[in-house]
Amino acid sequence: MDKDKILKEQVQELDLDEIIAKYDKESNYRKLSGVQLKIVTALAIMFSVFQLYTAIFGVLPAQLQRSIHITFALTLAYLLYPTSEKMSKYKMHWLDVLLACIAGFVGLYIPFNYHALIFRAGEQNTLDIFVAVIAVLFVLEAARRVVGLPIVIIASTFLVYCVVGPYLPGFLNHRGYSVARIVSHMYYTTEGILGTPIGVSSTFIFLFILFGSFLDKTGIGKFFIDLANAIAGKAVGGPAKVAVLSSALTGTISGSSVANTVGTGSFTIPLMKSLGYKPEFAGAVEAAASTGGQLMPPIMGAAAFLMSEFIGIPYGSIAKAAIIPALLYFSGIWIMVDLEARKTGMKGLEESKLPRLKKVLGERWYLFTPIFVIIYMLMSGTTPIKAALYGIYSSILVGMIKKETRMNLKMLLEALEAGAKGALGVAIACACAGIIVGTVTLTGLGLKMGNGLVELAGGLLLPTLFLTMISSLILGMGAPTTANYIITSTIAAPALLKLGVNPLTAHMFVFYFGIIADITPPVALAAFAGSAIAKSDPIKTGINASKLAIAAFLIPYIFVINPQLLLINTTGLEVIQITITSLIGMFGIGIAMEGFIFGKVNALLRLFFLAGGLCLIDPGVYTDMIGIIAIGLGLAYQWYRYKRPAAKGI
């Protein structure tokens, strides 16, 4: 039986729907038909049309724009996601239809009473309070269905904190608030559910998800996989390198580590296993690479836009700051994959079975155009809304080049529908995370948490960084990228700001650790999804993924200590120097983690390579010199031991 047949059988054995249902709740919605499908399709298309209309002709006042956005999101969430797993996934239940209607009423209560609510701000009547209570409960329930329990538990804990604050000791104590005050703050102000997170979701993020939907119609996903195969398929450890490259490319338009893992992993993981990679390693490579997609500019899982709003820094500065850390992240995985392949004697794929790079680029180079349009416009200072619109326009134009991707009315409507469905997870997560933000603004918890962490760390930077890392890993468990960043930046980042850390650096620090919670046991959803495809042990897969993603655990500490790694206050020459020395540093760290270069590396020498690698990643003349000498001596010793003619018996 040849490898192609084995691979085909392995792919057929995978129940991707079951894996998605277990680890990626956002993608596990009902598959409807008939009239029910038409109703949901119409609502989804109307959702996208509303977002496009306001993007083209002007965004509505904040509370109107955000409340209409959340109305569509809640209504569709209740229609598409069943109350329990026992309910049918192929038709709506009457209870969900009823809840969807109530959700629509609650969402539209603000637009229909907009001026009256403004007039009686702070003095809501009984009906206002009742609607606000229902709104909070419905947002929590929608989050449970669409996103999962972790974020609901966190948000509910924060709501309870609003009430029980007077009974808590130390820095957690506050004067307490009535239920009416809490729900009014959560629903009728722009500090809670309708706060900045849902504001960004209702403008920038939705359009970028819609852009991804239109881009998908051009066949960009298959192009990325073919391109990765053409570039890296025949190299040592080719399938694993294809996984790294294709996941990095897909990550520029994907907003989910788990969805990325399942999407590209359904192809790459069986391919890796067919060539002899251990299941735990195969699943880990895909999970680590897919998670890194959320750290990859320009979109960064949409968190870049939230970060821009939260800290008041232009989007271009955030994307620029993320370039070198993302490069180091993927370089680290690539290096360790290469060393693992050489250590275990893995070969690449047969060249005759791979697409040719010249042919792939020659026939489909134009598919890069929409991405280049987005990047150029964002970097040139254009608003994200306009950049996303032009990205959508260019996707439609690019699709017209080939007959098979030319968009007719049916394909346009399908793209609008897919974009709306794809945005539900983000919208619901942002609304739920708004409850957390609302609690922080109501009680001042963010500052208190910051003070508490700093006090616990004795006012010292490194212990504070460590405690903030642990907090971010815990808070990021099971949360999608946008909600993940909202939570960690609200709760954990203030501790670093308290110590005078640069705001961009502080927010990038918590963002990184919140994201890699997806591959950090015990709750590592991306790693668990990868293990389900690889049929491997989930915890072992998570440990392997964490090992591969070592750059993400080290780099945030370094850019806090030396912000030059984020290109803050640097020159062009320094950027080149930092990039080159950091890549050499990752090579040293990769050798230390894999314990192999030319041959097995002993424990003492691994520490030597690790120290040299860390010195090179930390920008500075002296650290670079120490790092180069350390790695150079280590390589010379290994070559002398394994590669010199005498060592080979010549």
Domain boundary, last residue among 151, 183, 203 = 151
Residue 577 has pLDDT above 90, yes or no: no
Least confident span in 32-46, 134-148, 158-172: 158-172
Domain-located, residue 31: yes
Q: For residue 650, what pLDDT band results from cuts at 50, 70 and 90?
A: very low
Please indicate, yes or no, if residue 81 is contained in any of the structural domains.
yes
Instruction: Give the chain's domain count.
Output: 2
Residue 550 in any domain: the answer is no
- Is residue 29 a part of any domain in this protein? yes
Note the pLDDT of residue 140: 96
End position of a domain, from candidates 151, 167, 182: 151
For residues 275 and 507, give the distance between their C-alpha atoms in angstroms, rounded to a whole number: 41
Q: What is the pLDDT of residues 348-391, one digit of tens each?
A: 667 777 778 788 888 778 888 888 888 788 777 778 888 889 88
Handedness of CA 168, 170, 175, 179 (dihedral sign): negative
CA distance 237 to 569: 39
Please write the tens of the pLDDT for every residue from 229-252.
787 677 777 777 777 777 777 666
DSSP per residue over 500-569, as a string? T--HHHHHHHHHHHHHGGGGSTTS-HHHHHHHHHHT--HHHHHHHHHHHTHHHHHHHHHHHH-GGGGTTT
Residue 195 lies in a domain: no
Q: What is the CA radius of gyration of the chain?
A: 25
Within a domain: residue 249? Answer: no
- The pLDDT value recorded for residue 5 is 52
Mean pLDDT of 82-106: 89
Q: Which residues pair with 359 in a beta bridge?
A: none
Tell me which residue range forms the domain holding 578.
573-650
Pairwise CA distance, residues 482 & 306, whole Å: 8
Looking at residue 596, the DSSP 8-state letter turns out to be B
Please check whether residue 43 lies inside any domain of the structure.
yes
Q: What is the mean pLDDT of residues 589-610?
A: 89
Q: Give the Cα separation of 246 and 238 in Å (integer).
A: 12
Provide the pLDDT for residue 6.
Answer: 47
**Contact of 507 with 489, CB cutoff 8 Å:** yes
Is 102 domain-assigned? yes
Can you read off the two tokens belonging to residue 95? 């209870």
Asked which of 136, 151, 166 is the last residue of a domain, the reply is 151
